[in-house]
């Protein structure tokens, strides 16, 4: 059985990892300073033992992004994935300013409410930028940092130029178009066969949630994540693992070495035969590197 807060299209999932993750999604009302109303936040929590691992998805994504990686990490470690504010299946409450600041605040109160101990923070793509931002603000929360094909060196979004009526609604609808999403998905993978029908369902389920349009428009209008300065990156205290697909066609491969040079205590590992999403394309080797990094002394 699937949770009743997921859209009916969840029944279209066919791959075992997708079905299993959908069945394990939970939600929790999280009180934050952002609004008087608690924010019903969706997450996955599996495994036990060790330093908790907390996974942050990319732009317009959800916890489904970690359907292949999370079970591997959770075999020997407490592992969490959360839908960031304004994304996934987390409630989009009217009146909230959907922005990096709001995402960071919501994430902190999610952590404080349900985890409340230092974590290994893992961010993929835009989730990497969110993880960097969170680490700089709450260094005491992050024991170690993992960046997977991370955003953060190229700020802003081309869509922000279109975010005024009526183009804002049209731009959001453009991103909702199945053909557009399929094209983006195929670009994200090196192995195009992985851009399956099941993958399309995983990537589109959250589009059925209330206020998806409004939150996406608001976040994009906020400017999204600006590029971090070299000084900001130099201020990252935790040990950092940078995983990067060797065939990333979304962000390219140049930023990987830039992050490595800028973040003081960091190491870069290339994930072979992978595009922008090695956690989906090469989950076993990605999990292996993360778990080995977990065991290393800071």
Q: From CA 221, how far away is CA 298, in angstroms rounded?
A: 38
User: What is the mean predicted confidence (pLDDT) over 77-88?
Assistant: 98
The per-residue pLDDT for 213 is: 86
What are the tokens at 198? Answer: 């099941």
- Buried/exposed code over 115-135 (b: 16+ C-beta within 10 A; e: otherwise): beebbbbbbbbbbbbbbbbbb
Query: What confidence category does residue 167 fall into, taking pLDDT thresholds of 50, 70 and 90?
Result: very low
For residues 20 and 198, is the Cβ–Cβ distance under 8 A?
no
Q: Which CATH code is given to the segment(s) 8-295?
A: 3.40.50.1820
Quick check: 36 pLDDT over 80? Answer: yes
Q: What's the number of CA atoms in the CB half-sphere (13 Å) around residue 78? A: 12
Does 94 or 242 have the greater pLDDT score?
A: 242
Q: Of 76-90, 139-153, 164-178, which range is least confident?
A: 164-178
Query: What confidence category does residue 222 fall into, taking pLDDT thresholds of 50, 70 and 90?
Result: confident
- Who's near 95: CB < 8 A, 6+ residues apart? 35
Domain residue spans in the chain?
A: 8-295
Other CB atoms within 10 Å distance of the CB of residue 273: 13
The per-residue pLDDT for 149 is: 97
The per-residue pLDDT for 162 is: 42
pTM: 0.94
Q: Report the chain's mean pLDDT, rounded to a whole number.
A: 92
């Amino acid at each position: 059985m699937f949770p009743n807060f997921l859209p009916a299209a969840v029944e279209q999932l066919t791959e075992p990892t997708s079905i299993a993750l959908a069945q394990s999604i939970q939600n929790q009302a999280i009180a934050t300073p952002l609004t008087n109303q608690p924010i019903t936040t969706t997450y996955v929590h599996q495994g036990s033992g060790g330093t908790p691992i907390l996974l942050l998805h990319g732009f317009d994504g959800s916890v489904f992004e970690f359907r292949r990686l999370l079970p591997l990490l959770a075999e020997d470690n407490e592992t969490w994935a959360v839908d960031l504010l304004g994304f996934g299946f987390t409630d989009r409450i009217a009146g909230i300013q959907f922005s990096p600041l709001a995402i960071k605040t919501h994430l902190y109160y999610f952590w404080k409410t349900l985890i409340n101990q230092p974590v290994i923070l893992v961010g993929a793509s835009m989730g990497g930028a969110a993880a960097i931002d969170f680490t700089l603000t709450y260094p005491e929360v992050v024991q170690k940092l993992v960046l997977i094909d991370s955003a953060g060196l190229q700020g802003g979004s081309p869509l922000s130029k279109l975010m005024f009526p009526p183009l804002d609604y049209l731009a959001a609808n453009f991103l909702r178009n199945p053909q557009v999403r399929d094209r983006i998905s195929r670009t994200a993978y090196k192995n195009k066969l992985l851009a399956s029908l099941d993958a399309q369902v995983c990537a589109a389920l959250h589009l059925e949630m209330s206020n998806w349009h409004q939150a996406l428009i608001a976040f994009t209008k906020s400017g999204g994540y600006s590029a971090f300065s070299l000084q900001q990156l130099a201020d990252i205290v935790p040990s950092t693992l940078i995983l990067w697909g060797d065939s990333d066609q979304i962000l390219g491969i140049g930023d990987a070495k830039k992050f490595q040079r800028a973040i003081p205590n960091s190491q870069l590992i290339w994930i072979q035969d992978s595009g922008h999403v090695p956690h989906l394309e090469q989950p076993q080797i990605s999990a292996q590197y993360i778990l080995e990094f977990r065991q290393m002394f800071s």
